[in-house]
Structure 1
Amino acid sequence: MTYKKKLIEVALPLDAINAESAREKSIRHGHPSALHLWWSRKPLATARAVLFASLVDDPSAHPEDFPTEEAQERERQRLFHLIEKLIIWENSTDKELFAQAYEEIKKSTGDNPPPVFDPFAGGGTIPLEAQRLGLKAIASDLNPVAVIINKAMIEIPVKFQNKSPVNPVAKSLLDAEWHGTRGLADDIAYYGKLLKEKAYADIGHFYPKVTIPGTGQKAVVIAWKWARTVMCPNPACRCEMPLVNSFWLSKKAGKEAYLEPMMENDKIRFEVRYGKGKVREGTVARTGATCIACGASIPLSYIRNEAKKGCMSAQLIAIVAESQGGRLYLAANEEHEKIADMPLPEDVPVGDLPEKALGFRVQEYGITKYSQLFTKRQLMALTTFSDRLIDIREQVCADGGTKGYSEAIVTYLAFLVDQLANHGSVICGWNSPNQQLRNTFARQAIPMVWDFAESNPFCRSSGSFHSLYGRMCEAFQSFMPSGQIGTVYNASATADLNVGSVVLSTDPPYYDNIGYADLSDFFYIWLRRNLKEIYPEIFSTMLVPKKEELVATPYRFAGSQQAAKEFFEQGMFDVCQNIYRYATQDIPLTIYYAFKQTDMDVGGTTSSGWETMLSAIIQAGFSINGTWPIRTEKPGRSVSIGTNALASSIVLVCRKRTADAPVATRRDFLTALKRELRPALVNLQASNIAPVDMA
């Protein structure tokens, strides 16, 4: 079967795409990812470029218009320049530019562009960029957290675009214009502030200011720094032994601060020191701990056993406060330690941590329930904000909003509760070089954190409710909803959704890289508590469904790596077979694969994940017509310096292979290779593909 080649099957402005994708990683304010965390999101620039190049014809497909190679190259460069403008972050809401892009897509699709379908929608990058390009976006995911994120990105903003806000302050602005999502964002800001005020009225007294020694002045606390403790096993010591990974509070040049442990009445307390002093090494490492009081070496096995017996506690070791000159570090005091010791709140979300899971380390230390990932005060804050969401729903309706609109506002505010959880758990550390809180998912894992930082949700610093809802409202500035409301399904990628003939672009799971279902339970327990009444079908289960999740995790198969491998291989094949039914004949599908150097062994043999992906695609009936290496890391990143690092992701460009496709002989293959290899290499070199990625 003959077909018109698309631009992505011939050439791409890869340098520009990679540069903008890497740059986007450093953009925090105004980015859609500020709505809700998701792991391993693809950059918007990458998805935008890949979708556009998949839909637009390569000039070689129109010899009647571009009869020579020179003419084709001129037209190709014109399309490259358009892509280079499209992917620039600052152009994300340029309506004229995207209208131009949509016209190019229409021209290559007979004025009838098909919908774009992503069966592993995850964080919503691909559906969002399809919608930005003016296309109908269809998203599906088995994970309820991913489903609600996608609804918040491609359904709700379009449904309520160009609508005036309902809050009383906005109503008084008679001359204001509310284009796009401005009205929605204004209401989120207003009702987010109202939610904070209601919560503060309930529990603000549990977050007291701290008295600055010597001045008597009061300062707002940013965070309380705690250290876990166990009793020293040395019979001659038996002190409560603080487990501290680092005594540094600030490594910022000119503002260095650190903790110095002191013995007082057989107890260890800490003094804050400023300047470049001799800072003691941390007391706990990978192999064990050291008692500050007696110097005894303690194996991790002892600490694990004490923790599992319920004998691990926590000690306040420092207070971080706001001041006119920046961060102020103060010694812990009894008042602030006592006020944090409160009864466990009622109606805390229930849920057991998996016995074993990718990235989970805390179970070895007696933490077996999701509620144990939070202090009592953190649980009190999260349940209070959650309970007050009902008041917000009622208030939105009282101010003139419809039931559906009040539910939309509460959906986004429920995301803020999740953001508070992400910035308010015992997995949060203190980043001493940047002098700020490190959130729970600084990595795609739930590690054990010995000296954690408890943030104040009512301050105005990073991780506070004020900061988080400000970032969320800024995120709406990057939305450019088209006239077509997106469709989001809560379904497995093997389900028959009857979506018709579609363009497929997807970023599937990477074998055993990330355990999305286990990790997202951290958010699901709060989303279910806050949104089950609004979305009963999405939040019908106690925890995120895991049985069908396409990930090779041996712990789900009684520790058998072979069984996990077979499950993933069969599942990926079933997905590709399902995709084959939907894929249109005229447009290639694109599949992302996070290929890394760790996917190659010493002998250069590909890993099970890469093999499985390629095998499933081919066996399902597709041919692989192209691969593009996408680099989303900055070239100066330390791990890349002096190394022959492979691309961060590979984009596989595939076509449906029809049942009557001819079988080539060896001579046919060599003839085709001789004919097509040289011009293909010229196009690849023109795209500046690194030699390691062409090898």
Structure 2
Amino acid sequence: MSIGMDNESTPRKRKLIEVALPTEAISRASKADKDRKVGTIKNIHKWFAPMPTPAWRALLFAAVVDDPGDEEKRAELLEVIEDLVPKTGTAPSAEALKRAKAVLAEQEQELPIVLDPFCGGGSTLVEAQRLGFPTVASDLNPVPALVTRVETQLVPAVLGRPPVSGDDGALEGTAVDPMAGLLADIRHYAKRVEENVRAKVGHLYESVEGGKVVAWLWARTVPCTDPACGVAMPLYSSPWLSKQEGRKAWLIPVVENGKVRFQIGKGSTANPPSGPKRSGVRGKFSCLACGSEVNEAYIRQSGMTGEMGAQILAVAVDNASGRDFIAESEGSRAAVIDPPEEVPELEFANNSKQFSTALYGLRRHADIYTSRQLHMLGAFADEVAEVSEWVKRDGGDGDQAVVIASVLAVCVGKMAMANSSQARWRLRSGPSKAEPAFGRQALPMLWDFAETNPFGDSVGAWSVQVGSLTQGLFSLPRDAAVGKVFQADARTAGSLVEPASSLIATDPPYFAQIPYADLSDYFYVWLRRAARPVHPDLFGTMATPKAAELVANPYRHGGPEKARKYFIDGFTETFSSLKQASRADLPVIVIYAHRQEETKDGELTSSAWDALLEAMLAAGVSVVGTWPLHATNSTRQIGQGANSLASYVAMICRPRPTNAGALDRRGFLQALRRELPERIKPLQQSSIPANDLGQAAIGPGMEIFSRYTRVTEPDGSPMRVRTALSLITKALDEILSEYEEDFDTDTRWCIKWFEDHQWETADYGKAEQMAHRYNTSVPGLVHAGVVTAGGGKAALIKPADLPAKYDPTTDDRLTVWEVAMHLSRLIEGKGPGTGIDAAGELLARVRTRSEIDEDTVKGLAYLLHNICENRGWTESQRWFNNLVSSWPDLQTAARAAEKRGVRVEADQLF
């Protein structure tokens, strides 16, 4: 739990979010929300980098509730927040919600409108409505505007209504669940849509013997470079079709009559044929017929000249025994279907980093679909476009017609995600399956892909998409007031509400990291066809608006610097507008998720942070605090051991006082040294991960910087935001270095040696010379169990190399360093006698020794992490970050060990 940010000189009443948050509970719930696959608003429609709903629920509550100024009452409010964010990541219980709403009702003013000008997937507004706030949302992009409109405007308008479709069971169910009637209607009209589409294009999906089709597995082809061969070379990444135990299957290529066809190998072999002998170099394959090689340049040329084709490799089916694979039938029609007349002609963005298909001749959106998929998706979109009229003819009113048609239009977007050549065939321990597009925020070139069955019952099927979407709708609140959602430029979003009426809470675009509008076109081309009849205000253009999008895309704005200036100018206008809409007693919540990175000159910086903060300051907005919230799911594409920032950072902002003065560089440094240590202590006490401490320090550091209208350099020029961030980082380094005063002499020697050599061996004489400086000796350090020496060399002992049997209660030369290293060994260990429980047992024994303060052990981990980060020692950095991150669990395990009584004999320990 993090507590801090008090400022008694401030006359206004502070909100709880400016003083305390149960960050551990919020982060735990947010991680669980990210890991949930069903029953969340993420199931409604894809959006990019969505903010977890538990985090918004907590932040919105804490932004409105006054801090009581009393520790006991504050603790009660923090308990309310903890109840609002169950560790499972689900919605809070009715009792927890009732208690939270009662606290909100006790505030001096009525609840504000929650305004989000970058509504995205709608998580901000959904959670605001769950807490009882009125909501207004906007987004320049029609795709998130439609999704959020469905969630917060259209669905609440029909809650409690009986079904149009006349489902008696649903009619009775509305007394228990106000959404029962709507869900029944969605299922009814979805089934009707599927029946009509099947009548139009069902003949294109021929049945096969051997089971119900799950997917047709395709590979791109290019002509062999040898004219004498002339084989169409299939390009596929792996011969494996399934690695499921007992059901392994793989491709066996057969070359006959100048063609490659495939048989299916099955059994327990671990070494199937290697397929096209793809090398480790991307795009380098060899011909299955003659062995000639092709490289990526040749494949691109083949695509550009129209010589790239596609071939079915195998068909995945489900039968009575499970998932199976059969060879492509001779004369299959799938590969020779002509495309329909109406296809998405829109071209992909000129951004090969995230849209690489155009490099291979696939320039249009239509080019990433098979002809059969184009027929099918067009048929679904056209049928859904008729749904609103069906509903009205069946007796439904305008609200019901719009919401049912809108939900099914969103489902068409979901269908496109699983029904293009961006769908991968994923091998796993269970049955292999198709994986929809956007495993990352890009549209890459795939050599092989899965064409799913829209009339089946697996991934990509209409019925499955409808089921997933309705599960997402089921997670919405049942007593929400009808919100308002507009398509609007964020620069003018403040005009959507009355001045000084709103709580501004938003998760804005991440600088240049995600090309939201360009990616959204993937969905837009189908949503426009399906939803334009009921949302003409959203789908009046041929593509998503891009010129006014507040993203720093270099390819759109003529280079990085111009893109940066565009971003800053746009957000300066945005924050100026939002400041007018913000209620005077409330802070503004802005979420960002970037950590600082090292430049070529060794300086830690971040273009994203610099630009956003510069825009805030230019708009007269001060940052008064930051809260790092961990919310990365366990399946993120970055490796689990990576030292990437796994947090969102919630910036708490206030308008800068009109009477703010100026300060020079020396005064700013003095203020940092004076105020920052007291702000950092609560964050460390909360066991904030070491990776995030630097990010968290930005809040109090920027509060100091932004409370002045101007901070000047010695030459009179204004200090840049980038410079201020660098000085804040250096001040944090100084604070962490001051820990050394609390350490024993052996530990201080270890820190200095680690800084110079990490785990490498070095000259014994140098080690002894340094030992004299710290009033210790190398033999003493060897006796302490932290150093190994011999042959004129000395080195620190890595945690993994420490002895497995260790008891701190009998250690006659116990050091903070040794305790920290053994804790790290146990936390990182995988074998018997390791893990959190074993580490907790050790910590419980350390507590019996008065000469060791466990807070200094955690402080050492912070310090060592900082050293590793500055020197780029990734593996060691991860160890110490994990030690800090595990501290709350470690303390819980230690208390459990103390309750049991620490009676294990030393030769049985750890």
Note the alpha carbon deviations across 1:655-692, whole angstroms, 9 max, x for none.
11121245578999799778865654443234331233
Matched, 1:374 2:372: no
Matched, 1:478 2:475: yes
Distance 2:232 2:402 in 1: 49
Distance 2:305 2:253 in 1: 27
CA RMSD of aligned residues (A): 2.5
Which residue of 2 is the match for residue 236 of structure 1? 228
Matched, 1:489 2:486: yes
Which residue of 1 is the match for residue 102 of structure 2? 103
Which residue of 1 is the match for residue 317 of structure 2? 321
Which deviates further from its counterpart, 664-673 or 316-325?
Answer: 664-673
Distance 2:193 2:306 in 1: 36
Note the alpha carbon deviations across 1:117-160, whole angstroms, 9 max, x for none.
11111111111111111001111111011111110111011111
Matched, 1:272 2:295: no
Matched, 1:387 2:382: yes
Matched, 1:443 2:436: no
Matched, 1:46 2:55: yes
Q: CA deviation at 1:105?
A: 2.2
Distance 1:596 1:675 in 2: 25
Q: Which has the larger radius of gyration?
A: 2
Distance 2:552 2:101 in 1: 39
Which residue of 2 is the match for residue 216 of structure 1? none
Contact 1:11 1:687 in 2 (8 A): no
Distance 1:349 1:53, change over 3 A: same
Partner amino acid, structure 1, of 2:269: K
Distance 1:197 1:485 in 2: 33
Distance 1:172 1:437 in 2: 33
Q: CA deviation at 1:255?
A: 2.3
Distance 1:453 1:444 in 2: 19
Distance 1:598 1:166 in 2: 56
Partner amino acid, structure 2, of 1:530: A
Which residue of 1 is the match for residue 606 of structure 2? 607
Q: CA deviation at 1:243?
A: 0.7
Equivalent of residue 202 in structure 1, options 200, 203, 210: 200
Q: CA deviation at 1:630?
A: 1.6
Distance 1:207 1:83, change over 3 A: same
Which residue of 2 is the match for residue 452 of structure 1? 449
Contact 1:102 1:134 in 2 (8 A): yes
Distance 1:671 1:603 in 2: 24
**Overall identity of the aligned pairs, in %:** 36
Name the SS for the 2:544 alignment partner: coil
For 1:178-189, list aligned pairs within 5 A. 179-189=177-187
Q: TM-score, with normalisation over the residues of structure 2?
A: 0.71
Matched, 1:251 2:232: no
Distance 1:481 1:675, change over 3 A: farther
Name the SS for the 1:150 alignment partner: helix
Contact 2:251 2:265 in 1 (8 A): yes
Which residue of 2 is the match for residue 261 of structure 1? 253
Q: CA deviation at 1:175?
A: 7.1
Q: CA deviation at 1:631?
A: 1.5
Higher RCO, Cα 8 Å, sep 6+: 1
Equivalent of residue 153 in structure 1, options 127, 145, 151: 151
Tell me how many residue pairs correspond in the alignment.
Answer: 675
Partner amino acid, structure 2, of 1:503: L
Partner amino acid, structure 2, of 1:354: A
Distance 2:638 2:411 in 1: 34
Equivalent of residue 29 in structure 1, options 33, 38, 50: 38
Contact 2:151 2:473 in 1 (8 A): no
Contact 1:165 1:184 in 2 (8 A): yes
Distance 1:668 1:597 in 2: 24
Name the SS for the 2:260 alignment partner: strand
Q: CA deviation at 1:31?
A: 0.9
Name the SS for the 1:494 alignment partner: helix
Distance 1:393 1:622, change over 3 A: closer
Note the alpha carbon deviations across 1:310-361, whole angstroms, 9 max, x for none.
11111111000011222111111124x3245222213323322223365100
For 1:481-630, list aligned pairs within 5 A. 481-495=478-492, 496-499=494-497, 500-501=499-500, 502-558=502-558, 560-596=559-595, 603-630=602-629
Which residue of 1 is the match for residue 652 of structure 2? 653
For 1:116-195, list aligned pairs within 5 A. 116-170=114-168, 177=175, 179-195=177-193
Partner amino acid, structure 2, of 1:372: D
Contact 2:344 2:366 in 1 (8 A): yes
Distance 2:414 2:640 in 1: 34
Equivalent of residue 347 in structure 1, options 327, 332, 342: 342
Distance 1:182 1:676, change over 3 A: farther
Q: CA deviation at 1:194?
A: 1.7
Contact 2:167 2:184 in 1 (8 A): no
Higher helix proportion: 2
Q: CA deviation at 1:482?
A: 3.6
Distance 2:625 2:647 in 1: 17
Distance 2:655 2:393 in 1: 54
Name the SS for the 1:497 alignment partner: helix
Distance 1:513 1:311, change over 3 A: same
Partner amino acid, structure 2, of 1:554: P
Distance 1:173 1:618, change over 3 A: closer
Q: CA deviation at 1:173?
A: 5.5
Contact 1:507 1:591 in 2 (8 A): yes
For 1:423-442, list aligned pairs within 5 A. 423-433=418-428, 435-442=432-439
Distance 1:263 1:113, change over 3 A: same
Distance 1:296 1:266 in 2: 14
Q: CA deviation at 1:174?
A: 5.2
Distance 1:174 1:98 in 2: 26
Which residue of 1 is the match for residue 360 of structure 2? 365
Contact 2:423 2:449 in 1 (8 A): yes
Distance 1:172 1:509 in 2: 40
Distance 2:681 2:89 in 1: 32
Contact 1:48 1:130 in 2 (8 A): yes
Contact 1:165 1:171 in 2 (8 A): no
Distance 1:678 1:390, change over 3 A: closer
Distance 1:390 1:488, change over 3 A: closer
Contact 2:118 2:139 in 1 (8 A): yes
Distance 1:154 1:636 in 2: 29
Distance 1:540 1:351 in 2: 15
Which residue of 2 is the match for residue 227 of structure 1? 219
Contact 2:594 2:606 in 1 (8 A): no
Q: CA deviation at 1:296?
A: 1.5
Q: CA deviation at 1:390?
A: 4.4
Note the alpha carbon deviations across 1:533-555, whole angstroms, 9 max, x for none.
22212111111110011112222
Contact 2:154 2:399 in 1 (8 A): no
Equivalent of residue 414 in structure 1, options 409, 416, 422: 409
